[in-house]
C-alpha cells in the first residue's frame, strides 16, 4: 500500500489520458460556459517610454516606478511609492508590483469590496494560465485558512494593457490592522526569520517575548517527543491549524510552501497562527527541494515537502503524525468534488473577460505559459478536476 500511495503522490502531473473512461463518465464534470462576468478592477498610470522600456527589460533586480496619473477603478489617487517586487518573477517582462498610496483605493471581487492603501499587484507570470493562486485561495477559504482579499485586475500603462494581474492584500496588513496582531514574522528558508513587522504600540519586552516564543517552537523539536512535544508546541503555536495547512499543501501538491508563510500572533489566543502566501507553484510532481531529498527527510509520509524542521518532526513523530492524519482526513472530506467543481467554474468565470480581450491575453507571450487561450484554460481546469478528485479518493481510501 505504501508503494501505491507514493505512486499517487508523485504522479506525472496532469496527463488526462491516464484516467479511465469510466472515471470520466462518472465524474460530475465542471461546466465552463461563456460568462457574462466583467473585469472588476482596472489600474492605469503613465510612464515615459524610456521608463517603460526599463520596466520591461530590467531583470533580476528591483526598481522604483514613478508613475503619473494613477487611476484605480475610476478614482484618481496619488502614490507614495510603486516598486517592483518578487524574486523569480523579476526575470519576466511583466513585473509584480508593490503599491503604497496616499489614500485608500477600492477594489471589488464579486460581493466583496476592500479599501487599501498598500497592496501587492501580482503579475502571475509563472502562474499556469493565471489560475493557480485563484484556485488555491478559494479552496483555503473553505478550510478557514485564507483571509486576504484577492481579485483579478487589468493593469494598463500608457493606455495599453499589461495583462492579467491579481490584487492581493498584504498579509502583514491583514494581521496587524484587521486581526489586531502585535507582531508578524515571515518564515524563511530553514525557519530563519526573514522579516518582522510589529504594531507601533508593541513594547520592546513583548517583542523580545514573541521572538523567543517563535524560537521555542524549534527548540522544542529537539527537547521533546510525542504528546509532551505536542503540548509544548501548543503553548506557542496553533499546531492543529498548522497541520491543516500542511494537509492542504499535500492535497494540492504545493511545491514551494516552507518559506512562503507568515506567522502572526493572534491576540485572541496570544500564540502564533499562520497566514499562507503564494500558490503559483502547485500541482507539481515533486517539492522544491527535490524528490530525493524529500524522501530522505520524511520517507513515505503523507506530507508533500520535508524542507522545514517542524514539518519533518510532524512526519517522523508517531504521535504528531497520528494527529496530522486526522487533519488530513478532514481536509480531504471538506474539499469534495462538488466544492472543487464550484471553485474551478468560479475561476473560469472570473478569467473569461480577460481571455476574450485580445490586448490583455496577448501579454501571455511574455509569461511562462505562452499558449494561454480559452481552449487551453478549459482543458487545464478539467484536468485539475479529474486529478484532484483522483487524489482525494485515493488518499481517503488509504487513510480508511
pLDDT in tens, 290-315: 999 999 999 999 999 999 999 999 99
The structure's pTM equals 0.93
Instruction: Kindly tell me if the per-residue pLDDT of 354 is higher than 80.
Output: yes
Write the CB contacts of 209 (distance below 8 Å, at least 6 apart in sequence). Answer: none
State how many domains the chain has.
2
SS3 of the chain: helix, strand, coil, percent, to 5: 45, 20, 30
134 and 114 both lie in a single domain:
yes
Q: Which helix (H) or strand (E) holds 20?
A: none
- CA-wise closest residue to 313 among 191, 189, 226: 226
208 and 101 both lie in a single domain:
no
- Which of 154, 169, 184 is the endpoint of a domain? 169
- Which of the pair, 380 or 14, is modelled with greater confidence? 380
198 and 293 both lie in a single domain:
yes
109 and 243 both lie in a single domain:
no
217 and 145 both lie in a single domain:
no
Look at residue 262 and tell me if it is in a domain. Answer: yes
- Which of 169, 195, 223 is the endpoint of a domain? 169
> What pLDDT score does 89 carry?
87
178 and 164 both lie in a single domain:
no
259 and 232 both lie in a single domain:
yes
- Which of 308, 334, 360 is the endpoint of a domain? 334
Measured between its terminal Cα atoms, the distance across the chain in Å is 12
Q: Which three cell numbers stand for residue 112?
A: 466583496
Look at residue 109 and tell me if it is in a domain. Answer: yes
> What pLDDT score does 12 carry?
39
315 and 282 both lie in a single domain:
yes
Mean pLDDT of 129-143: 98
Residues in the chain: 400
227 and 156 both lie in a single domain:
no
396 phi, psi to nearest 5 deg: -65, -40
Mean pLDDT of 21-38: 73
76 and 104 both lie in a single domain:
yes
> What pLDDT score does 343 carry?
97
Find the domain containing 120 and state its range: 42-169
77 and 179 both lie in a single domain:
no
Which of 195-203's residues contact partners 24+ apart within 8 Å by CB, and which partners? Answer: 197/172
Number of H helices, E strands in the chain: 14, 12
Question: What pLDDT band is residue 24 in, cutting at 50, 70 and 90?
Answer: low
Look at residue 390 and tell me if it is in a domain. Answer: no
Answer yes or no: are the C-beta atoms of 378 and 63 closer than 8 Å: no
161 and 179 both lie in a single domain:
no
Amino acid at each position: 500500500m505504501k508503494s501505491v500511495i507514493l505512486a499517487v503522490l508523485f504522479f506525472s502531473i496532469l496527463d488526462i489520458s491516464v484516467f479511465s473512461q469510466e472515471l470520466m463518465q462518472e465524474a460530475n464534470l465542471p461546466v465552463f460556459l461563456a460568462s457574462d462576468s466583467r473585469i472588476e478592477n482596472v489600474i492605469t498610470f503613465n510612464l515615459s517610454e524610456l521608463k517603460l522600456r526599463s520596466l520591461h527589460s530590467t531583470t533580476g533586480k528591483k526598481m522604483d516606478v514613478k508613475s503619473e496619473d494613477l487611476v484605480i477603478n475610476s478614482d484618481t489617487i496619488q502614490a507614495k511609492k510603486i516598486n517592483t517586487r518578487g524574486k523569480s518573477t523579476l526575470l519576466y517582462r511583466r513585473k509584480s508590483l508593490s503599491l503604497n498610496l496616499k489614500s485608500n483605493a477600492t477594489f471589488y471581487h464579486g460581493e466583496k469590496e476592500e479599501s487599501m492603501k498598500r497592496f501587492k499587484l501580482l503579475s502571475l507570470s509563472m502562474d499556469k494560465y493565471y489560475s493557480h493562486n485563484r484556485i488555491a485561495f478559494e479552496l483555503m477559504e473553505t478550510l478557514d485558512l485564507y483571509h486576504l482579499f484577492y481579485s483579478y485586475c487589468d493593469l494598463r500603462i500608457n493606455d495599453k494593457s499589461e495583462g492579467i494581474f491579481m490584487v492581493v492584500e498584504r498579509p502583514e496588513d491583514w494581521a496587524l490592522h484587521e486581526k489586531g496582531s502585535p507582531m508578524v514574522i515571515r518564515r524563511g528558508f530553514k525557519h530563519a526569520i526573514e522579516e518582522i513587522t510589529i504594531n507601533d504600540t508593541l513594547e520592546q519586552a513583548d517583542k523580545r517575548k514573541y521572538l523567543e516564543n517563535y524560537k521555542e517552537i524549534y527548540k522544542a523539536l529537539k527537547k521533546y517527543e510525542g504528546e509532551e512535544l505536542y503540548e509544548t508546541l501548543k503553548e506557542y503555536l496553533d499546531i492543529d491549524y498548522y497541520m491543516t495547512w500542511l494537509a492542504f499543501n499535500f492535497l494540492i501538491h504545493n511545491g514551494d510552501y516552507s518559506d512562503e508563510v507568515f506567522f502572526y500572533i493572534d491576540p485572541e489566543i496570544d500564540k502564533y497562527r499562520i497566514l499562507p502566501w503564494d500558490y503559483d507553484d502547485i500541482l507539481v510532481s515533486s517539492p522544491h527541494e527535490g524528490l530525493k531529498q524529500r524522501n530522505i527527510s520524511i520517507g513515505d509520509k503523507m506530507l508533500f515537502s520535508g524542507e522545514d524542521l517542524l514539518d519533518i518532526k510532524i512526519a517522523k513523530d508517531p504521535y504528531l503524525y497520528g494527529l496530522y492524519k486526522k487533519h488530513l482526513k478532514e481536509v480531504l472530506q471538506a474539499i469534495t468534488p462538488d466544492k472543487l467543481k464550484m471553485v474551478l467554474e468560479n475561476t473560469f468565470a472570473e478569467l473569461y473577460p480577460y481571455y476574450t480581450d485580445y490586448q490583455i491575453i496577448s501579454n501571455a507571450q511574455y509569461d511562462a505559459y505562452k499558449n494561454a487561450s480559452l481552449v487551453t484554460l478549459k482543458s487545464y481546469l478539467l484536468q485539475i478536476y479529474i486529478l484532484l478528485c483522483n487524489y482525494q479518493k485515493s488518499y481517503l481510501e488509504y487513510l480508511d
